[in-house]
Amino acid sequence: MTKRKKSPAGESIRTGASPQILAQALLDNLYYVQGRLPELASTNDWYMALSYTVRDRLLHNWVQTLKAFAADIKAVSYLSAEFLIGPQLGNNLLCLGIREQVRKAVARHGRSLEELLDQEGEPGLGNGGLGRLAACYLDSLATLEVPAIGYGIRYEFGIFDQVIRDGWQVEVTDKWLELGNPWEICRPEIAYEVGWKGHVEAYPDAAGRQRRRWAPGVVVKGEAHDYPVPGYRNRVTNLLRLWKAEAVESFDFADFNVGDYYGAVQEKVLSENITKVLYPNDEPEAGKRLRLSQQHFFVSCSLQDMIRIHLLRGRSLESFQESFAIQLNDTHPALAVAELMRLLVDEHLLDWEAAWEITRNTLSYTNHTLLPEALETWPAPLFAELLPRHLEIIYEINQRFLDEVRLTYPLDEDRVRRLSLIDESGGKSVRMAHLACVGSHAVNGVAALHTDLLKRTVLQDFYELWPEKFLNITNGVTPRRFLALSNPALSGLITGKIGEGWIRHLEELRRLEDFAEDPRFQRNWRRVKLENKKRLAAAIRNRTGVQVNPASLFDIQVKRIHEYKRQHLNVLHIVTLYNRLKRHPEQTITPRTFIFGGKAAPGYFMAKLIIKLINAVAEVVNHDPDVGDRLKVVFFPDFTVKNGQLIYPGADLSEQISTAGKEASGTGNMKFALNGALTIGTLDGANVEIREEVGPENFFLFGRTAPEVADLKASGYHPLGCYEQDRELREALDLISSGFFSHGDAHLFQPLVASLLYRDEYLALADYRSYVDRQDEVGHTFRDAKRWTRMSILNVARLGKFSSDRAIREYCEKVWEVRPL
């Protein structure tokens, strides 16, 4: 071992935590890693130097944790096509508990920690809730000291950056790797080959048994890129391993010699395309082929990696399930069922039955959506071309499975057709959710209502077949990032009252109930909220030029833009308030600031039109002298994890207004409530459970329930009837149609208005009256500061259930059967 440099106090420059040694380490990294002198260093150089300094401290814990992987201990492997991890520096400082020392160290060099934190971008390797959930779960696994690896894809371009021009969304390429990423450790030695295309051949093995083997036509290499995932103050650091595609050989020398330079480079270019870009969801059909390639690529690399780790432990593959519990985050990694079978049967020569046993015992599947258009299927011809052996394996799994079904339900061919892994209606296609169900020992939904609906709708036949496989695990969010890190003022206030145990045991927040009416505590609570709103107001000013009043009610809806999430219902309410003010300019109303944020899939026309509508309404309302300061509307561009951390703490009201039965869980709902916002919401997803926990009197409920939605649709829903019967609704829609918000252009919003009037798939008009009435009550309640504050405190106090630690404990006990280190 090399001798470590020591400070006078005996601290190592790589692991020490005093301000002196940290200040010295900063200079060291600036000089030796960045090759910079302090007087010439840019803000980014200092950010990088600081990040390397923090990373050194994490690596020490990391190496210790990795030892666990060498030992005989079961680890969790979380397979997800998306990880939305957010900025890393702040969270890593929080976990290590060295923020104050680092602040001092940075100050010694004349820099501010805030400025360096602000310099950091984020890896946008996800679309929204699903990817962020994966990141929260990694945080909880590390905090609960469960050895785990997150496996995913290192997209070179993550989710696009959103810019608003003339009120429209414009997509700009995300260049998160442009300035380098200090947290990433590239591991060229951990690499696997992954095949495509080609053909399958039969051959007899040494024992004379018939076997199949795949001779791929194309091969690429997946290279590991690792990110540290620290637990909260516990010295555990887990691993997020993302795969990057590389050509197997940089140049085909044969081609090169005959002078075909471009032909030679082509393979390299094509191979590397696989991990080029993350697909925005809600995109119909686009890029199907490449997406299937991405899924196969990361699943294959990850499984090969797990098999390598398992064999390194000196154990045989029969006990693979004792080394890993593999979670499939939605169907994106569902190919793991076929790929694990292929690896075990074709490559490691196990019997089919033994391999199937291992596969099923190892895998489990989480469903995240009921929307039929979001359930993945792949055309069989595409499969046959790209993954011929996998398709064979899927057919074999299907045949064995359907034989079993026929024994359980004789003469029920209709059921057989419904359960089949292959959809034969129209062209043949592979149903990935069915593959995941058949290949897993556990299937879960992400909120009680969602799981219930899963059992009764999309997976009903599977539930009837294997009721014992199904369970609910309601989502959760990490209190570290979404309270301790993003809302230091509220965290400080809470810790001052009940100590800091809540950061690991969120149920302890319950003790705040005792102070819900304490006048001093209430005043401090309001002071903190106001500070956070001022911070948000400054950011809004900075990014949109709109001046908002921090004393007004901050009414916020941030999430992907989608018709089922009903941002347009929110707009109808705004236009209604506007109409009321125009009619009676003298009336007193509760001043409100409406804040929206969220990206629309680039090919989702209606979602993009909703963004335009929000901005169009904002432009009129914000400049109308009759309105003055009473209503402001803001579209906060580029909603990301980083912006979320700024927005949630500044909310008074959280909009969770999806059509009941459509939002699987929602997690933004939890982040808002954890930061003291009250919710206006439907009985959808986890809203149901949030309301149960905080108490119905502390939640603004509106709208039809999931069964009522289904009934209304079944009995024939006519949105035009709602329009005709409700004057305020009519006036709001008419004003939008008239071109009033679009400089007289009466065509611009027609597609949206027409879709509401003649179809309204998501029942915005049916829920309008109940929403507006409830919003009136919100406005009224907000004026009673004591009552509002009490409700806010009680919301926070009763939110313990929605910690991702609770969710992860449930997965550990009920699905993975793993125990902490």
User: Applying CB under 6 A, which part among 192-200, 356-364, 419-427, 663-671 lies near ligand NBG?
Assistant: 663-671
* 3-class SS of residue 225: strand
Instruction: Count the neighbouring beta carbons within 10 Å of the beta carbon of residue 204.
Output: 9
| Nearer residue to ligand NBG within complex by CB, 434 or 533 | 434
Binding range to ligand NBG, per CB under 6 A, among 164-172, 353-361, 664-672, 691-699: 664-672
The one segment of 126-134, 296-304, 354-362, 389-397 that binds ligand NBG by CB under 6 A: 126-134
Tell me, what amino acid is at 466? W
The residues facing 414 across adjacent strands are: none
What tokens were used for 732?
Answer: 């709001």
When binding is defined by CB under 6 A, the residue of 86, 123, 685, 703 that contacts ligand NBG is 685
Q: How far is the CB of 215 from ligand NBG (least distance, A)?
A: 35
Residues in the chain: 821
Among 37, 172, 374, 720, which residue sits at the site for ligand NBG (rule: CB under 6 A)?
Answer: 374
Interaction of residue 369 with ligand NBG, rule CB under 6 A: yes
Nearer to ligand NBG by C-beta: 601 or 616?
601
d(C-alpha 618, C-alpha 635), whole Å: 8
- Which residue number, 336 or 634, has a Cβ lying nearer to ligand NBG? 336
228 lies in the binding site for ligand NBG (CB under 6 A): no
Residue 134 · residue 126 · CB < 8 Å: yes
User: Rule CB under 6 A: is residue 655 a binding residue for ligand NBG?
Assistant: no
Distance CA 55, CA 42 (A): 20
Structure tokens at 820: 């902490």
Quick check: 644 binds ligand NBG (CB under 6 A)?
A: no
Shortest distance (Å) from residue 667 CB to ligand NBG? 5
- Site stretch for ligand NBG (CB under 6 A), options 203-211, 533-541, 658-666, 783-791: 658-666
- Please identify, using beta-carbon distances, which residue of 238 and 665 lies nearer to ligand NBG: 665
We find the least distance from the C-beta atom of residue 492 to ligand NBG, in angstroms, to be 29
- Per-residue interface string for the shown chain with ligand NBG, residues 457-476, x marking contact by CB under 6 A: ------------------x-
**Burial classification of residue 806, based on how many CB atoms lie within 10 Å of its CB (0-12 exposed, 13-18 middle, 19 or more buried):** middle
Give the x-and-dash track for 79-118 against ligand NBG (CB under 6 A): ----------------------------------------
Candidates 617-625, 636-644, 661-669, 735-743; binding stretch for ligand NBG (CB under 6 A): 661-669
Two structure tokens written together for 202: 């039969």
**Which residue lies nearer to ligand NBG by CB, 136 or 753?**
136
Closest approach of ligand NBG to the CB of residue 438, in Å: 20
- H or E segment and range at residue 168: strand 168-172
Helix or strand or coil: residue 584? coil
Residue 625 CB, nearest approach to ligand NBG (Å): 41
Q: b/e string for 674-703 if b means 16 or more Cβ within 10 A? A: bbbbbbbbbbbbbbbbbbebbeeebbbbbb
Nearer to ligand NBG, 475 or 659 (CB): 475
Q: How far apart are CB 8 and ligand NBG at their closest, in Å?
A: 50
The residues annotated as belonging to the active site are 368, 559-560, 565, 667, 671
| Smallest distance, ligand NBG to C-beta of residue 807, A | 10
* Residue 446 interacting with ligand NBG (CB under 6 A): yes
Which residues, 6 or more positions from 730, have their beta carbon under 8 angstroms from its beta carbon?
723, 724
Smallest CA-to-CA distance from 365 within 443, 450, 468, 433 is with: 443
CA–CA separation, 330 and 814 (whole Å): 18
With respect to ligand NBG, which residue has the nearer C-beta, 680 or 748?
680
Nearest residue (CB) to ligand NBG, 123 versus 666: 666
Give 212's strand partners: 202
Tokens of 758: 């003649």
Residue list 302-331, contact with ligand NBG (CB under 6 A): 330
Shortest distance, position 559 Cβ to ligand NBG, whole Å: 9
Question: For 181, phi and psi rounded to 5 degrees?
Answer: -130, 110
The one segment of 40-48, 199-207, 368-376, 580-588 that binds ligand NBG by CB under 6 A: 368-376
Among 169, 304, 667, 742, binds ligand NBG (CB under 6 A): 667
| Residue type at position 32 | Y
The answer to whether residue 611 forms part of the interface with ligand NBG (CB under 6 A) is no
For 7, 361, 687, 813, the CA distances from 802, given in Å and listed in that order, are: 43, 28, 11, 17
18-26, 104-112, 129-137, 672-680 -> range binding ligand NBG (CB under 6 A): 129-137
> Least distance to ligand NBG from the beta carbon of 367, Å?
9
**What's the rounded Cα separation, in Å, for the pair 714 and 520?**
53
Q: Which of these segments, 177-185, 455-463, 644-652, 665-673, binds ligand NBG (CB under 6 A)?
A: 665-673
Half-sphere exposure of residue 495: CA atoms within 13 angstroms, side-chain side: 12
Element (DSSP H or E) covering residue 498:
helix 488-498
Q: Pick the binder of ligand NBG from 663, 693, 760, 805 (CB under 6 A).
A: 663
- Torsion angle (degrees, nearest 10) of CA 442, 447, 450, 452: 70
Applying CB under 6 A, the site for ligand NBG has a residue count of 15
- Applying CB under 6 A, among 57, 296, 368, 630 the residue interacting with ligand NBG is 368
Euclidean distance between CA atoms 588 and 429, whole angstroms: 59
Asked if residue 455 binds ligand NBG (CB under 6 A), the reply is: no
**DSSP class of residue 507?**
G
Structural element, H or E, at residue 456: helix 448-456
Residues near ligand NBG (CB under 6 A) are 129-130, 133, 330, 368-369, 374, 446, 475, 663-667, 685
